[in-house]
Amino acid sequence: MTRVLVLNGPNLGRLGVREPEVYGSATLADLAAAVDGWSRELGLEAETRQTDDESEIVGWLHEAVDSRAHVVLNPAAFTHYSYALRDAAAQVTTSGLLLVEVHLSNPAAREEFRHTSVVAAVSTGTVAGFGLDSYRLALGAVAGRLAHNA
């Protein structure tokens, strides 16, 4: 079965209590359960992870390349400045795997510093602004692209 790593960066472990007016009331566990259900429906095998640690998420991107897993990535604040994450994300897409950047909120409609994504240019595509549904749309995009290419 096609594997997808659903990787979440810093502070996303605080979903549910962190600025619910921006990020909603669902917790990371709710997100993982929703991802599980959506991916099953789409014929994907997804695994949701979260870390506050840049080196850990870089390592997970290396793992995606080595184990041939596609990636749905919410880099959180790393989106805006982490060249290490960008370089790791580039290894995913240049190895022929899909990487969809996702955001719960729409960073383009928020503070100026959030308007820059250093990851976007090395991603297959981006989904932002739909809350938890951003992840459903991203998984659907992965399944759709793979079906199209098959």
Name the residues annotated as catalytic: 23, 103
Of 106, 73, 105, nearest in space to 90 by CA: 73
Binding of ligand DQA by 70 (CB under 6 A): no
CA dihedral 109, 116, 38, 16 (to 10 degrees): -60
**Which residue of 6, 35, 89, 104 would you call a contact of ligand DQA, by CB under 6 A?**
104
Binding of ligand DQA by 79 (CB under 6 A): yes
Cα–Cα distance, 92 to 70 (Å, whole number): 8
Q: Which is nearer to ligand DQA, 103 or 136 (CB)?
A: 103
Binding of ligand DQA by 15 (CB under 6 A): no
Provide the binding-site residues for ligand DQA, judged by CB under 6 A.
11, 74, 76-77, 79, 103-105, 107, 114
